[in-house]
A and B are shown apart, each in its own frame.
Chain A
Amino acid sequence: MTDRKTHPASEEIPAVQLQGVHKWYGEFHVLKNINMDVARGERIVICGPSGSGKSTMIRCINRLEEHQKGHIVVDGTELTSDVKNIEQIRREVGMVFQHFNLFPHLTVLENCTLAPIWVRKMPKAKAEEIAMHFLEKVRIPEQASKFPGQLSGGQQQRVAIARSLCMNPAIMLFDEPTSALDPEMIKEVLDTMIELAETGMTMLCVTHEMGFAKTVANRVVFMDGGEIIETNDPHAFFDNPQHERTQLFLSQVLQH
């Protein structure tokens, strides 16, 4: 789906590295000693009960949340409080939110071209060409001149995916992308994400869609109470969970 240029020198360094990451909200310890490496092209699904810190963890990767201890290295650049560093990383990391967060005052096309024009300094015509390319990929080019408020939830989320892809990111983060959708719209968004996975995009997805995890994930990470409890490949994870808490969680999620 992306026409990404390869960085020969950076092939061996992981896309994302988290080393001993801790985070507190005041006294509350939300992330406890998170260690994880994500290789280039790897697709990780992160699941766990609500309040387990999974969203907080991926939001630390593009600095929407600040970690207080440990190291986070994204695409070879360490996240520090240096604003230039943060903006550099955010340009390379796309994010899709639970509530889409499209810009309601801009058309679908303008939503997609805004960052390429203002952040990447791309000429407007080029940015629009790229935006239409990705809107076709997510199968809504005919909505380009509409405003987000005129689209369904599923369509909005696909626009949000296209908007991120227009920045030509190296890594995509998904924070419960289907949780706010009506059931009949979940599939169209998941199909788009599966197609994206097939292009070799590095993806970190917080989701409860276990079918999606089985289809596309290289690894499934289970979190609870701010810790990574278990990491395994999808087959082993679903068929033979090691940890008691994982078993409990899966029994609750897979019942339906």
Chain B
Amino acid sequence: MSEMMQEKYAPGTHPDWEPPATEVGVIGWMRENLFSNWRNSALTLLGVYLVYLIFVPLIDWAIVNADWAGDTRDACTSGGACWVFVKVRFNQFMYGFYPAEEYWRVNATAVLFALMILWLTVPRIPLKRVAGVLTLFVFPIAAYFLLGGGVFGLSEVETTRWGGLTLTLILAVVGIVAAFPLGIILALGRRSEMPIVRALSVAYIELWRGVPLITVLFMSSVMLPLFLPEGVNFDKLLRALIGIILFQASYIAEVVRGGLQAIPKGQYEAADALGLSYGKKMVLIILPQALKLVIPGIVNTFNELFKDTTLVLIIGLLDLLAIIKAALEDSNWLGYSIEGYVFAGAVFWIFCFGMSRYSRALERKLHTGHKR
């Protein structure tokens, strides 16, 4: 009898043995997670009340009572958020002081970039290697000439006119793309068996990690020109970028080193025993595993780098935050700083959240079911 039942039903699916209704589904979940005892129930109710306290006025201010129409502050009468301010200044927030008739060049660069990212991240699209080469080597050159101009009949736009979200994204993307490989090289250098290489890597990492980014930016914009020969003066944006890259590389190096240390010695030995050279061993065996382990740390560093780009405002580069701050000084729009900062925060949040989501998807994709 019992043997027949075992044949008919997979374990746990017998129709006569269904769990009680209070233990499954929505009710079961709520009972177990929200109202399992009186303390848990009290905390649940308190939590709901806090959410109510915070979000109802917020939504009221930001959406229900907000003003969207109009072009001047006179349009803002309802007492809610005055998004008119953001709307009127929107182009400046996005493009800085880039000439309005040339906005299409920034847009084209952004679309190109978005397409490359899609190609790289959507698994179904083939030829990832081609996409990688294009993104790393062809796209930056194209973007540089598209934004800077001066060739192919495009009028020249000096970097001092670049600003807003455009500048923020340039700083962040170039910073991330350049600091990442430099950080990996430093991490490998710090674990090298060659004493000079190791000492140089340690010295570099400890020096750059020990100074605040603000100091680095000040040095790059104020002190560096003093040491350059007269007449030599290179772009302030480029100097800030170099400062950010060299600074962040030291952080990435330490994150990657953590991953390298977590790889068991046996992996190195197996690669050695097969006759792989140092470079092949690292690129094919060690780094893929080490980088996968430290994805959360790397994305954390990228997020920080993205937000740290706002510090360039102290050397007079007008990134998104700096240009919003500048707009707030406008006597026509005094008193709308909350709207400005909420907008800035929302834009930064969208990009950082996007990176986090992608990193989680990547972690799931790279999980091959192995345990150590």
Q: Is A200 an interface residue (CB 8 A)?
A: no
Q: Is B357 an interface residue (CB 8 A)?
A: no
The CA-CA distance from A167 to B274 in the complex, in Å, is 8
- Which residue numbers of A lie inside 8 Å of B, CB to CB? 62-64, 87-88, 90-91, 93-95, 97, 99, 101-105, 114-115, 118-119, 147-150, 163-164, 167
Residues 345-370 of B, flagged 1 when their CB comes within 8 A of A and 0 if not, give 00000000000000000000010111
A91 surroundings in chain B (CB, below 8 A): 275
| Contacts beyond the supplied A97-B266, A105-B366, A147-B368: 11 A-B pairs with Cβ under 8 Å | A90-B272, A90-B273, A101-B270, A102-B270, A105-B288, A115-B274, A115-B275, A118-B276, A118-B280, A147-B369, A164-B274
A62 surroundings in chain B (CB, below 8 A): 272-273
Complex contact A87–B275 (CB within 8 A): yes
- Which residue numbers of B lie inside 8 Å of A, CB to CB? 264, 266-267, 269-277, 280, 284-285, 288-289, 292, 366, 368-372
Q: Max chain A CB contacts within 10 Å: which of B275, B289, B366, B371? A: B275
Complex contact B370–A167 (CB within 8 A): no
A103 surroundings in chain B (CB, below 8 A): 267, 270-271, 285, 289
The CA-CA distance from A121 to B285 in the complex, in Å, is 17
A64 surroundings in chain B (CB, below 8 A): 269, 272-273
13 pairs across A/B with beta carbons < 8 Å?
A63-B272, A64-B269, A88-B275, A91-B275, A93-B273, A102-B270, A103-B267, A103-B271, A103-B289, A104-B370, A115-B275, A115-B276, A119-B274
Complex contact A105–B272 (CB within 8 A): no
The CA-CA distance from A163 to B269 in the complex, in Å, is 14
B270 surroundings in chain A (CB, below 8 A): 95, 97, 101-103
The CA-CA distance from A167 to B273 in the complex, in Å, is 11
B267 surroundings in chain A (CB, below 8 A): 101, 103
**Given contacts A115-B275, A115-B276, is CB(A149)–CB(B288) below 8 Å?**
no
The CA-CA distance from A119 to B273 in the complex, in Å, is 11
A90 surroundings in chain B (CB, below 8 A): 272-275
**Given contacts A97-B270, A103-B285, is CB(A167)–CB(B275) below 8 Å?**
yes
The CA-CA distance from A149 to B270 in the complex, in Å, is 16
When C-beta atoms are compared, the residue in chain B nearest to A115 turns out to be: B274
When C-beta atoms are compared, the residue in chain B nearest to A62 turns out to be: B273
The CA-CA distance from A54 to B366 in the complex, in Å, is 38
Complex contact A104–B276 (CB within 8 A): no
Complex contact A104–B274 (CB within 8 A): no
From A94, A105, A147, B292 is in contact (CB under 8 Å) with: A105
The CA-CA distance from A97 to B272 in the complex, in Å, is 12
A99 surroundings in chain B (CB, below 8 A): 264, 266
When C-beta atoms are compared, the residue in chain A nearest to B369 turns out to be: A149
Give chain B nearest CB distance to A117 CB in angstroms: 10
Give chain B nearest CB distance to A211 CB in angstroms: 27
When C-beta atoms are compared, the residue in chain B nearest to A118 turns out to be: B280
A95 surroundings in chain B (CB, below 8 A): 270, 273
The CA-CA distance from A114 to B271 in the complex, in Å, is 10
Give chain B nearest CB distance to A127 CB in angstroms: 13
The CA-CA distance from A63 to B202 in the complex, in Å, is 28
The CA-CA distance from A148 to B368 in the complex, in Å, is 8
The CA-CA distance from A36 to B289 in the complex, in Å, is 39
